[in-house]
């Protein structure tokens, strides 16, 4: 079980692999959350007055702090999230890089100086920190989703109010401690965990001093938050749902495609917004791909990640049940289980066997839903245009993957895909130096790279008389 349990005013954090309580944090009420804005505003006024160089040095210290505490952070993520030790270690490394990247970006705030075409005027364009920023992060990457938002916010000179997922708050509090040790002043980074996320976030968004919302989560919740933000026209960034196609052409290097598929599908047990959700494999290479992919899937070790398993549980038993329903309904439509890993004898209901499905109809429900689990449905294709239409059909366009023998072929397909990020002959797209985000209903704005810091700034233009 992974349902939250309260004891007085605390929130229990449960291990999804064992159901055991691994920690407790304070369960914030709406009134307590609202009171945090006072400190956040005071922290903002002090932090924005610091030099870019100072903010850079603090973020560098935070990067080094995360590296020093890497093992502790890895174990926290394994315990509260349920991902494998290898995945958790990789996440900590990836998450720390956002502090290093934005330590470097902090001293490079863009601006401009031009002469007006008519003469007599100089245009000075500068950027200023937007203000107090509310950050809402999901449970699937409790470290990386936090640092990807905190890093650019602090580099820009903002203070932040972080609301981590109630399933995985321990990592967020640990990162906040590291930031304090690195020299972040009181009030600049505050974390509030709560069973009632809407109560806490609503209290924050109702305060005129809150000027920014950065949210990562489902498209449905994103729509509701956008409606709230519209009431005060709050500056908003959102990274929402995904339904990534993974395309394999007839000329692809199949061994490379299989390795990429394993990474794109089974990273974090498939519980990633960028996870490959639908596999479109050309009929000419379907047999070879499914045979090799299936063998890799069947060899995955499922079990308690603390004991070294490759694949742990999904986040809740409820989530596992919903995914089982998708698989069952796909089978009823003619899909076949071509390969499946073994579950341990003592597996709880939160565990799912990594599964390869073939013969999946193009209109099956499992292809239109974000699976968020270790299930790989495969569709055969022969007509390129028809396949691209299927790949672009969902309302979200976050990420996609293309494997083709010729780079030009892969690039031509990639440019036709309605996705904010495309892995070209590569099974991963995330990088702190690159813009992360999607198109259509997959979100607004970008995180990472120089774009990420711009999301936490406002542009100001000074018109200077030069006559």
What pLDDT, in 10s, does the model give residues 343-402?
999 999 999 999 999 999 999 999 999 999 999 999 999 999 999 999 999 999 999 999
Asked if residue 462 has pLDDT above 60, the reply is: yes
Among 4, 250, 259, 260, which residue's Cα sits nearest to residue 139?
A: 4
- Distance between CA atoms of residues 230 and 207, nearest Å: 13
Q: What would the 3-class secondary structure string for the chain be?
A: CCCCCEECCEEEEECCCCCCEEEEEECCCHHHHHHHHHHHHHHHHHHHCCCHHHHHHHHHHHHHHHHHCHHHHHHHHHHHHCCCHHHHHHHHHHHHHHHHHHHHHCCCCCCEEEECCCCCEEEEEEEEECCEEEEECCCCCCCHHHHHHHHHHHHHCCEEEEECCCCCCHHHHHHHHHHHHHCCCCCCEEECCCCCHHHHHHHHHCCCCEEEEEEECCHHHHHHHHHHHHHHCCEEEEECCCCEEEEECCCCCHHHHHHHHHHHHHHHHHCCCCCEEEEEEEHHHHHHHHHHHHHHHHCCCECCHHHCCCECCCCCHHHHHHHHHHHHHHHHCCCEEEEECCCCCCCCCCCCCCEEEECCCCCCHHHHCCCCCCEEEEEEECCHHHHHHHHCCCCEECEEEEECCCHHHHHHHHHHCCCCEEEECCCCCCCCCCCECCEECCEECCECHHHHHHCCEEEEEEEEECC
Asked if residue 24 has pLDDT above 70, the reply is: yes
Segment 208-226, tens digit of pLDDT = 999 999 999 999 999 999 9
> How large is the average pLDDT for residues 192-205?
95
| Phi, then psi, of 111 in degrees rounded to 5 | -160, -175
> How large is the average pLDDT for residues 102-120?
95
Report pLDDT for 8.
63
Asked if residue 253 has pLDDT above 60, the reply is: yes
Q: Is there a contact between 383 and 355 (Cβ–Cβ < 8 Å)?
A: no
Catalytically active residues, by annotation:
239, 273
> How large is the average pLDDT for residues 14-25?
95
Q: Is there a contact between 442 and 240 (Cβ–Cβ < 8 Å)?
A: yes
Report pLDDT for 149.
98
> How large is the average pLDDT for residues 116-121?
95
Token reading at 191: 């974390």
Q: Flag the least confident range among 6-20, 229-243, 310-324, 371-385.
A: 6-20
Q: How confident is the model at residue 7 (pLDDT cuts 50, 70, 90)?
A: low
Segment 152-198, tens digit of pLDDT = 999 999 999 999 999 999 999 999 999 999 999 999 999 999 999 99
Q: How confident is the model at residue 264 (pLDDT cuts 50, 70, 90)?
A: very high
Of all residues in the chain, what percent carry a pLDDT higher than 70?
A: 98
Helix axes 85-105, 52-68, angle to 10 degrees: 160
Radius of gyration, alpha carbons of the chain = 23
Mean pLDDT, rounded, of the chain = 96
> How large is the average pLDDT for residues 301-322?
96
Asked if residue 150 has pLDDT above 50, the reply is: yes
Beta-carbon neighbour count of residue 305 at 10 Å?
Answer: 27
- Buried (b) or exposed (e) across 176-192, using 16+ Cβ within 10 A? bebbeebbbeebbbbbb
Say if residue 112 is exposed, middle or buried (CB neighbours under 10 Å; 0-12, 13-18, 19+): exposed
- Distance between CA atoms of residues 416 and 404, nearest Å: 14
Max Cα-Cα span within the chain: 83
- Distance between CA atoms of residues 239 and 138, nearest Å: 11
Specify the higher pLDDT residue, 72 or 110. 72
State pTM to two decimals.
Answer: 0.95
- Distance between CA atoms of residues 233 and 25, nearest Å: 32
Asked if residue 1 has pLDDT above 80, the reply is: no
Asked if residue 94 has pLDDT above 90, the reply is: yes
- Distance between CA atoms of residues 323 and 377, nearest Å: 12
């Amino acid at each position: 079980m992974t349902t939250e349990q309260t004891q007085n005013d605390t929130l229990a954090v449960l291990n999804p692999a064992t159901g055991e309580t691994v920690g407790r944090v304070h369960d914030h009420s709406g009134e307590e959350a609202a009171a945090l804005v006072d400190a956040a505003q005071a922290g903002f006024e002090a932090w924005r007055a610091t030099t870019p160089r100072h903010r850079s040095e603090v973020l560098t210290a935070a990067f080094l702090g995360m590296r020093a505490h890497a093992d502790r952070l890895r174990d926290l993520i394994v315990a509260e999230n349920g991902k494998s030790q290898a995945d958790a270690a990789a996440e900590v490394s990836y998450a720390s890089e956002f502090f290093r990247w934005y330590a470097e970006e902090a001293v490079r705030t863009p601006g401009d100086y031009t002469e007006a075409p008519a003469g007599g005027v100089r245009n000075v364009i500068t950027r200023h920190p937007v203000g107090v920023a509310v950050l809402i992060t999901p449970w699937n990457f409790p470290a990386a989703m936090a640092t990807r938002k905190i890093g650019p916010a602090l580099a820009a000179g903002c203070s932040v109010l972080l609301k981590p997922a109630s399933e995985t708050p321990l990592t967020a509090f640990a990162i906040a401690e590291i930031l304090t040790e690195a020299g972040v002043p009181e009030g600049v980074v505050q974390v509030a965990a709560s069973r009632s996320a809407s109560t806490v976030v609503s209290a924050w968004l109702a305060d005129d001093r809150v000027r920014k919302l950065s949210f990562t989560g489902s498209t449905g919740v994103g729509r509701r938050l956008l409606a709230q933000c519209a009431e005060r026209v709050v500056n908003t960034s959102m990274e929402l749902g995904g339904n990534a196609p993974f395309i394999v052409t007839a000329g692809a290097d199949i061994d490379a495609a299989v390795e990429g598929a394993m990474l794109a599908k089974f990273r974090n047990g498939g519980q990633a917004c960028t996870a490959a959700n639908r596999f479109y494999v050309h009929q000419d290479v379907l047999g070879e791909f499914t045979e090799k992919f299936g063998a890799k899937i069947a060899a995955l070790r499922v079990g308690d990640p603390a004991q070294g398993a490759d694949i742990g549980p999904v986040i809740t038993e409820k989530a596992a049940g919903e995914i089982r329903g998708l698989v069952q309904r796909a089978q009823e439509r003619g899909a076949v289980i071509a390969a499946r890993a073994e579950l341990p004898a003592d597996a709880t209901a939160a565990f799912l066997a990594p599964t390869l499905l073939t013969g999946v109809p193009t209109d099956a429900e499992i292809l239109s839903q974000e699976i968020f689990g270790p299930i790989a449905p495969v569709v055969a294709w022969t007509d390129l245009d028809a396949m691209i239409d299927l790949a672009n059909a969902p309302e979200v366009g976050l990420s996609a993957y293309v494997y083709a023998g010729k780079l030009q072929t892969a690039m031509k397909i990639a440019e036709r895909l309605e996705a904010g990020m495309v892995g070209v002959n590569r099974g991963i797209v995330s990088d702190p130096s690159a813009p992360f985000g999607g198109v259509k209903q997959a979100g607004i704005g970008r995180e990472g790279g120089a774009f990420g810091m711009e999301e936490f700034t406002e542009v100001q233009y000074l018109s200077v008389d030069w006559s």
